[in-house]
Amino acid sequence: MSLIIATGSNIGNSLQSLSLAKESLAKHFNLIAESRIYTSPAVDYLEQPDFLNQVLEFEIPCSDSLSIFKICQSIESEMGRVKKIEKGPRNIDIDILFIGTQQFRDRSLEIPHPRLFQRSFVVLPLKELPFFQKLQLLFEFPDHFSNSATPFPIES
C-alpha cells in the first residue's frame, strides 16, 4: 500500500518548486517512485499560466489522514503559498490523492481526492507509478479528459 501525492505549480520557478516539495515530503515519508513532470493548461480558474504537475508515491506512514494533510499544508506554507484566488495561480499545490485504498472524508479533506478522475494532469502521471496496478483494480480511470496534459521536456 502506498501514499500517493500530487504536486503542482504555475508561478515562479515551477520546476524548482516541484523539486523542493518532493524533497520536503521525502523528509516525512519514504519516497518509492515518481512520475515524469507534466504540463497542462489551468482548469477551473482559466486566467493563469499553465501548470507543471507531478505525482509521487511514498510508503504509507504510521500517521493518520489528517496528520498527513497537516504535513502537506505545512510544506505549502513553508514554501510561501498564499491563496489569493480560489483555484488561482500558486507556487505550490500539494494534494493527497490516495492513502492506500482507504476512503476518508471530513470537512477539510476527502480521500481519494474528489476531482482526480477528471484531471489528465493527475491520472496520466499516476499511471506511471507502481501502485497504479493495484488502484486500477479498485477504481475506474478514464482514458479521455476534457483537459490535456503532456510530459514536460526536461533538458539534461
pLDDT in tens, 102-153: 888 988 888 898 888 989 999 999 999 999 999 999 999 998 888 888 899 8
pLDDT of residue 47: 74
Torsion of CA 130, 6, 148, 137, to 10 degrees: 40
pTM of the model: 0.92
* pLDDT above 60: residue 51: yes
| Domain regions of the chain by residue span | 2-151
Cite the beta strand spans of the chain per DSSP E.
2-9, 31-34, 38-40, 51-59, 93-99, 104-105, 110-111, 150-151
* pLDDT above 70: residue 46: no
pLDDT of residue 130: 96
* pLDDT above 90: residue 154: no
Per-residue pLDDT tens digits for 35-45:
999 999 887 76
Q: Which fold has domain 2-151?
A: Alpha-Beta Plaits (3.30.70)
Place of cell 509521487: 56
Q: What is the mean pLDDT of the chain?
A: 90
Confidence band, pLDDT 50/70/90 cuts, at residue 20: very high
Per-residue pLDDT tens digits for 52-89:
999 999 998 777 889 999 999 999 999 987 777 677 68
HSE of 38 in the Cβ direction (CA atoms, 13 Å)?
25
Q: Which pairs with CB-CB distance under 8 Å and at least 24 residues apart come from 80-87?
A: 85/45, 86/45, 87/42, 87/43, 87/44, 87/45
